[in-house]
Amino acid sequence: MDNVSVFFLAEGEQSADDVMARLTTFIRAAKQSLAFAIYDMRFSDPLRTQLAAALRDRAEAGVEIRFCYDADKPPEPNLAAGQDPAPAGTGAFVQSLRYPWRRIAGMKLMHSKFVVRDRQAVWTGSANMTNDAFTLMENNIVEIDSPAFASYYAQNFEQLWEKQNFEHTGGIHTEPVTLTFSNQSANAHVMFSPGCGLEIDTEIARRVRAAQRRVRICSLLINSGTLIGELGNLLRHGRVAVDGIYDRTQMSDVYVQWQEVPQNRWKIGALKEIIARAGLVGKDSMPYTPAGRHNFMHNKVLVIDDTVITGSYNFSRSAQFNAENILFIESAPLAETYSVYIDHLIQKYRPA
């Protein structure tokens, strides 16, 4: 039976070894192929040793292993200009594993973080493959065991691999797939940008506009003008509960960027009003520096009634032009599972 499972990360609540054990369990089940599309991959030596052992075990069993990774990072990125904010080192790390790799170029970011196993199963979600992502950040990781679903991710990977550039990729026509979560049917749909970037933004807005009971936010950033407009409308009408959590520190940097662009300045007041009206809780993470601790509230989640929206896709205009993947999963028990996690983070980071 095709199924979906999820697990959640929060700062200081799991060890890096625990998360790596789940990843290597996923890897060691491979019989034919493993395809990694990676934005940021930099592990300490102990974690690298565990990963390398799992990969070597599968390679010796005849499994084909390939990596696509985001183009090399500038040592001092210009964040306001949209340059890559991840620290340097992914290329060197991937190449050190000694499996076939492709460096994926493009004007924006190859921001996906997924693994396709045997064209049968997918590991995806918001978590990059770093020590900080596994131990200091809030993330959600989704595993989907479904040949139909995995085939879409495999198509996206092959586009990246063949073009070695993510522009003009992601325009994949996908259909909803029936999965199982908690012994109940779940309807799941995946979309990829940049090919479907505008459609993704439109679909998110449509689902927020159609909300009947609740919209719960658990997101690093909230900077899509379309989403800000729809959330503002919901709050003004007052018929749908809106709440959640975001990363206050990282959004403060976005306010500075908006202030410098006249057509974006309206977003500052509009979002601050949403935060105040909805009582959104902000995590105070460490300000970004390339070599510093990265403890972002890194999820990209919306729970709308009984639908979970998640993936690598930040709710931003930039995400439309990146290589991203986003899931729309209609499942009451899954929505409740995410809701419990959101409640936990709200309690954890709500000011005393």
User: What residue spans of the chain are helical by DSSP H?
Assistant: 16-28, 45-60, 90-96, 131-135, 147-163, 197-209, 225-237, 248-259, 265-278, 317-321, 332-349
The arithmetic mean of pLDDT across residues 280-289, rounded, is 94
pLDDT tens digits along 39-65: 999 999 999 999 999 999 999 999 999
The 3-state DSSP class for residue 142 equals strand
CATH of the domain at 68: 3.30.870.10
Tell me how far CA of residue 285 lies from CA of 214, 237, 250, 270, 282, in angstroms: 27, 32, 8, 23, 9
In whole angstroms, give the CA distance from residue 222 to residue 214: 17
Residue 75 has pLDDT above 70, yes or no: no
Full domain range(s) for residue 143: 3-349
In whole angstroms, give the CA distance from residue 224 to residue 226: 5
Residue 81 has pLDDT above 90, yes or no: no
In whole angstroms, give the CA distance from residue 149 to residue 259: 41
Residue 235 has pLDDT above 90, yes or no: yes
In whole angstroms, give the CA distance from residue 258 to residue 251: 10
In whole angstroms, give the CA distance from residue 156 to residue 322: 13
The arithmetic mean of pLDDT across residues 298-319, rounded, is 96
The arithmetic mean of pLDDT across residues 192-205, rounded, is 96
- Residue 107 — pLDDT band, cuts 50, 70, 90? confident
When the pLDDT of each residue in the chain is averaged and rounded to a whole number, the result is 95
- Residue 84 — pLDDT band, cuts 50, 70, 90? low
The arithmetic mean of pLDDT across residues 284-306, rounded, is 93
Nearest CA among 283, 301, 291 for reference residue 341: 301
Residue 292 has pLDDT above 90, yes or no: no
Asked if 332 and 308 touch (Cβ cutoff 8 Å), the reply is: no
Tokens of 27: 């890897």
In whole angstroms, give the CA distance from residue 324 to residue 313: 6
Q: What is the pLDDT of residue 134?
A: 98
Residue 71 has pLDDT above 90, yes or no: no
Phi, psi (degrees; rounded to nearest 5) at 232: -60, -40
In whole angstroms, give the CA distance from residue 182 to residue 134: 25
The count of structural domains within the chain is 1
- DSSP β-bridge partners for residue 41: 129
The arithmetic mean of pLDDT across residues 121-149, rounded, is 98
Torsion of the alpha carbons at 237, 240, 241 and 247, rounded to the nearest 10 = -80
Nearest CA among 326, 323, 325, 327 for reference residue 111: 323
Q: What is the pLDDT of residue 83?
A: 59
pLDDT tens digits along 256-284: 999 999 999 999 999 999 999 999 999 99
Residue 156 has pLDDT above 80, yes or no: yes
Residue 317 has pLDDT above 90, yes or no: no
Q: What is the pLDDT of residue 82?
A: 55
Percent of the chain with pLDDT over 70: 96
DSSP 202-251: HHHHHHHHT-SSEEEEEES-B--HHHHHHHHHHHHHT-SEEEEEEEHHHH
